[in-house]
Amino acid sequence: MPLPPRGTVIHAPDAPIEPLLADAGRTVAVLGYGNQGRAHALNLRDSGVRVIVGGRTGSEARKRAESEGFASFDLAEAASAADLVVIALPDEVHGRVWGETLASAIRPGQVLGVVHGFSLHHGEIDPPPGVGAVLVAPKGPGRTVRERFLMGQGIPAIIAVHQETEGPDSGPDAASLCLAWAAGLGCTRGGSIVGSVADETDTDLFGEQTVLCGGLTGLILAAFEILVEAGYPPEVAYIECCHEAKQVCDLIYHRGLAGMRAAISNTAEFGIDHAAPRLVNDRVRAEMRALLAEIRDGRFAERLKTDADAGFPDLHRHRQATADHPIEQAGRTVRNLMPWLAEDDAKVEASGASDAHHRGHGGARRATEDGQD
């Protein structure tokens, strides 16, 4: 049965996990055991699903999966043994892994799953007719997916069926495995939203570029530099323009923009209307539209692929520039005033929800505490 229309909220009763359960003879292969893969493998296993892990030979992540009780296999072997194959590898390697390894291992009736739509949407993965393709994109980093699951909660996901399985012997339909996957992950406990692969890919990239990662980084750095240029101490500039972002983001996360306004001082609230229209003016809106156009027509994907294929020289240069920026020294001084920040991280690590083991594996992504990847 197809998924309901885009925008429909799916709750637990609409998403039975039974089609994926070990009792139904099903197996899920999670390829990759990093930020997302580990959370998917652990949550699905805790939900009663038989999970195996796939990885490249000698992979550190694969060793971790084995130490956490999973049988692990080479990518093709794991993929060919599963009903649902969850590709939890960095987006930039999907095309190569698909072409060199997975395309010949996958047969009609199996269902491929992605955690973010980029590679399916841009044709890096091109499943042949008969092979199902679905998306379950939890809207948060793997650490949060695992943490909330362990708390009996779940974060929302965008879910989509890109292509249905076909044929009389095709086994379970892709839509029912998609719903069961979201359920086993904990993402229907609160509710997940039906979208398309294009919806998820375009909005995810646009949000991270204009607001969450690009916009925020640009604003914080510019504001820090202007205060320091004007003679204010760097540590004070850091507190005002970077550290405090979390307090405001927490308010927005919990209560929305109107709720945030209600919780801040009249002075701060008056400042919103004084500054926001001047900062985000017609020129900025035009740039946002241009960024959206580049996302939609594939120009951004092309640029990312070119850099990834060359070993990410641009990404590494900018990563190093951020590490070398004076804001980092000021940030270290300020964060040392709050030793509980490191203690909080250590607690998460001890709880088993952490992704910290996998940071710095060379991918383009970094997990954040409780929000966007």
Ligand X SMILES: NC(=O)c1ccc[n+]([C@@H]2O[C@H](COP(=O)([O-])OP(=O)(O)OC[C@H]3O[C@@H](n4cnc5c(N)ncnc54)[C@H](OP(=O)(O)O)[C@@H]3O)[C@@H](O)[C@H]2O)c1
Binding segment toward ligand X, per CB under 6 A, in 7-15, 28-36, 189-197, 262-270: 28-36
**Looking at residue 193, what DSSP letter applies?**
E
Has 162 been annotated as catalytic?
A: no
Identify which of residues 101 and 170 has a Cβ nearer to ligand X in the complex: 101
Binding segment toward ligand X, per CB under 6 A, in 31-39, 276-284, 296-304, 307-315: 31-39
CB 25 → ligand X: shortest distance, Å? 27
Determine contact, residues 216/208, Cβ cutoff 8 Å: no
Can you read off the two tokens belonging to residue 360? 């710095």
Tell me the number of residues near ligand X by CB under 6 A: 28
What is the footprint of ligand X within residues 48-107 (CB under 6 A)?
55-56, 59-61, 88-91, 93, 97
CB 262 → ligand X: shortest distance, Å? 31
What is the footprint of ligand X within residues 294-333 (CB under 6 A)?
none
Dihedral sign (CA 111, 116, 120, 124): negative
What is the footprint of ligand X within residues 114-173 (CB under 6 A)?
115-116, 137, 141-142
Contacts of 34 (CB under 8 A, 6+ apart): 61, 88, 89, 90, 142, 355, 358, 361, 363
Helix (H, G, I), strand (E, B) or coil at 135: strand
CA-to-CA dists, residue 311 to 92, 304, 315, 362, angstroms: 10, 11, 9, 9
DSSP 93-124: HHHHHIIIIITTT--TT-EEEESSSHHHHTTS
Helices (H), the chain: 35-46, 60-67, 75-80, 91-97, 118-121, 142-150, 174-185, 197-207, 214-229, 234-238, 245-263, 266-279, 282-296, 299-309, 313-324, 326-336, 340-351
The binder of ligand X chosen from 29, 182, 295, 367 (CB under 6 A): 367
What is the footprint of ligand X within residues 179-238 (CB under 6 A)?
none
Identify which of residues 78 and 177 has a Cβ nearer to ligand X in the complex: 78
Helix (H, G, I), strand (E, B) or coil at 194: strand
| Other CB atoms within 10 A of residue 300 CB | 20
Identify which of residues 92 and 173 has a Cβ nearer to ligand X in the complex: 92
Burial tier of 136 (Cβ tally within 10 Å: 0-12, 13-18, 19+) = buried
The binder of ligand X chosen from 26, 28, 36, 50 (CB under 6 A): 36
CB 18 → ligand X: shortest distance, Å? 26
Can you read off the two tokens belonging to residue 361? 């594996």
Identify which of residues 97 and 260 has a Cβ nearer to ligand X in the complex: 97
Identify which of residues 109 and 117 has a Cβ nearer to ligand X in the complex: 117
Identify which of residues 59 and 188 has a Cβ nearer to ligand X in the complex: 59
Run of H or E residues at 25: none
CB 155 → ligand X: shortest distance, Å? 10
Q: Interface with ligand X includes 35 (CB under 6 A)?
A: yes
- Catalytic-labelled residue, pool 40, 94, 116, 358: 116
Q: What is the contact mask toward ligand X in residues 240 to 259, using x (rule: CB under 6 A)?
A: --------------------
Q: What's the rounded Cα separation, in Å, for the pair 70 and 61?
A: 11
CB 91 → ligand X: shortest distance, Å? 5
Query: Which residues are known catalytic residues?
Result: 116
Q: Interface residues with ligand X (CB under 6 A)?
A: 32-37, 55-56, 59-61, 88-91, 93, 97, 115-116, 137, 141-142, 358, 361, 363, 365, 367, 373
